[in-house]
Amino acid sequence: MEATIMHYRQGRHHQNLKQMILYVADTAEAAQKVVGKTVSWTSPSGTVISGTISALHGRNGRVRAIFADKGLPGQTLGQKIQIV
């Protein structure tokens, strides 16, 4: 399954670089099914960065993904990410 990387999770004064907002489905009920699964992004050089989907983000089919080691680079915004 694939998701689209929408944006970093951010507040009023800063961005959380290890947390990303992913667009998974059109409804929150469909997006709830992927909570707890692992996501992985492969860079053009072959490096794999993985994280986990933690919770829903809003009611429109978006979820939050948390990456433990390091966050995703800015060039990933708008790209596809694999849900395992």
Which CATH number does the domain housing residue 33 bear?
2.40.10.190
Report the pLDDT averaged over residues 26-41: 95
Contact 7, 20 (CB under 8 A): yes
> What is the rounded end-to-end Cα distance, in angstroms, of the chain?
7
pLDDT digit string (tens) for 40-58? 999 999 999 999 999 999 9
| Best CA proximity match to 22, nearest among 47, 34, 69, 49 | 34
**Count of domains in the chain?**
1
Residue 40 neighbours by CB distance under 10 Å: 13
Which tokens sit at 68?
């433990």
Residues spanned by the domain of 8 = 2-83
Which residues, listed in sequence order, are joined to residue 49 by a DSSP beta bridge? 41
pTM: 0.89
Report the pLDDT averaged over residues 54-72: 93
